[in-house]
Amino acid sequence: MKKLKNTKTILVGIDYTKSSDNALNYAAMLAKRSKASVMLFHIYETPVIHTYSGAYFISYKEMQGFNIARLN
C-alpha cells in the first residue's frame, strides 16, 4: 500500500454500526502509516417525542451523553 502523501487528517463518519467500526479501524491503520490524525464525525437528527401534552425535544446535553456512552 502506498503512503498517503500530504495527508494530515482522516475524517471518518461513524454511526455505531459494524461497517463504521471497520471504516474506523481501516482509517486508524492508514493514519498510523501516514502519521495523520483521525477525526470522528457523527451527525444525528434531534429526536422529537410526541406526548399528549405536546412535543418533547431531547436536549443537546442528553444526546451528547448518549453518544459518548456509545463511543465507550
pLDDT at 1 over 60: no
pLDDT at 71 over 60: yes
Question: Between residues 59 and 24, which one has the greater pLDDT?
Answer: 24
For 23, the grid coordinates are 471504516
Report the predicted TM-score, pTM, of the whole model to 2 decimal places: 0.61
What pLDDT, on the 0 to 100 scale, is given for residue 22? 95
Number of helical (H) and strand (E) elements in the chain, helices listed first: 2, 4
